[in-house]
A = this chain, B = another copy of it.
Amino acid sequence: MFVKNDEEKVAIVGVGHSKFGKRLDVNMNELAWEAIKPAIQEAGITQRDIEFYSVGNFGYWSEEILPAVTIGEYAGLKCGSLKTEAACASGSASLKIAMDSILAGKSKIAMAMGIEKMYNSPNSTIIELIGRAGNYFWEFENFGMTFPGYYALYATKYLDEFKSSEEDLCEAPVKAHHYGSLNQYAQFQKETTVEECMKSKYVSRPLKLMDSSPITDGAAALILARGDVAKKLTDTPIYIESQGYATGTAYMGRRDNYLGLEASRRATESALRGAGLDGIGTNFDLFEVHDCFSIAEVMAYEDVGIAARGEGIKLLKDHQTYHDGKFPTNLDGGLKAKGHPIGATGISQAVEITKQLRGEAGRGRQAQINKGRALQHNVGGTGHYAYVTVYSRGD
């Protein structure tokens, strides 16, 4: 890795996170402000200092059809902006845009946020719209696939190939809910058990309700600054070292196999290369992975490379992805327990990583920070999009 000047770096200097859950008590602008306000305060800046902002939002169910505008106005921002969508990786896309704006010399301080307000829509609308987030023409309209159905194909193949069980998959929500119970922003702040998971209804066999991330309202925000500016604003800048991204086929029938997501693997390789690392090794203190379903978490372990193919389940069962394990992962409760407000998820993961790398995650959740480096894995669709981002304290 070549050495960069401060002017060639981007760091997170402030983060904010709304309470995730069923948030019928606020409208979209108010929900956004719950995340933006603390981010601005933490950074010690005012709205005027923000020169560009991007909003990650899927939003087909929203009443406000130009969310970046109404949110910006409510938050007192007058600079340029845009909305971005990369399905469930919209938050990472938002991060890319704000980061690139700084690296391109267009802004010194920019905001990347993400938001989704889903509970205002009827369930049937949400199920249809998420179902269409595959290939509409071939799979939704012709075969009636729903979104859990896509991941159920992967789960079926995985369980068969590696002689694993539904009970094994249920270890994922057990971990997620454990950490969710310790996270004040999480949608579900209670523990669960393998038994409770096994008793929950099938959503799409073999995936059950407790294998599935919920419908969530939520927002998260990051204030980004150019390296030299960041150093003036904070003693604990968290640098974005690199980002890798890839797009995968939308046709499930064209996937090579159902034992992982090719786009995740390509994005990870690219992110590691960008950070000057030759592999996962012991380079990372912490991981955030896209666990929209139990099987997604297991595949993520393998795609990112903290487990060999077929060994993700074992890693989970051995508690190696708990906070005191070898590869601490999703210590915020993940999409499963923290919640999955689509456009906000990628930013929420970055907020968690920032707090962890600063050592502010709190009792029972804080990972041991040695290398000062973390990796985020954020998937859109079923690997239609993959964004992998490497963060560091810059030690």
Contact = CB atoms under 8 A, between A and B. Distances in A.
A340 B96 CA distance: 28
B69 A250 contact: yes
Interface stretch (A74-82, A171-179, A288-296, A322-330): A74-82
Interface residues of A, number: 59
Q: Tell me how many chains of this kind the complex includes.
A: 2
A23 B139 CA distance: 24
A385 interface: yes
Interface stretch (A83-91, A150-158, A184-192, A213-221): A83-91
B96 A82 contact: yes
Nearest to A138: B70
A196 interface: no
A249 interface: yes
Nearest to A80: B245
Interface in A70-112: 70, 72-73, 77-87, 90, 93, 96-97, 99-106
A132 B63 contact: yes
A49 to B, nearest CB: 15
Given A82-B96, A86-B82, A137-B63, A73 B247 contact: yes
A361 interface: no
Contact of A86 (B70, B83, B87, B137): B83
Contacts of A103: 100, 103-106
Given A100-B106, A101-B100, A106-B100, A246 B78 contact: yes
A136 interface: yes
Interface in A222-256: 243-251
A100 B104 CA distance: 5
A381 interface: yes
Contacts of A161: none
Interface of A: 27, 52, 60, 63-66, 68-70, 72-73, 77-87, 90, 93, 96-97, 99-106, 129, 132-137, 141, 243-251, 266-267, 380-381, 384-385, 387
- In the A-B complex, the 8 residue pairs with the closest CB atoms: A80-B245, A103-B104, A82-B93, A100-B100, A100-B104, A82-B86, A69-B384, A65-B132
Given A66-B87, A66-B133, A83-B86, 20 more contacts: A52-B245, A60-B65, A63-B132, A63-B136, A65-B133, A65-B136, A69-B248, A69-B385, A78-B247, A79-B246, A81-B247, A81-B385, A82-B84, A83-B84, A83-B85, A84-B84, A99-B104, A100-B104, A101-B104, A103-B104
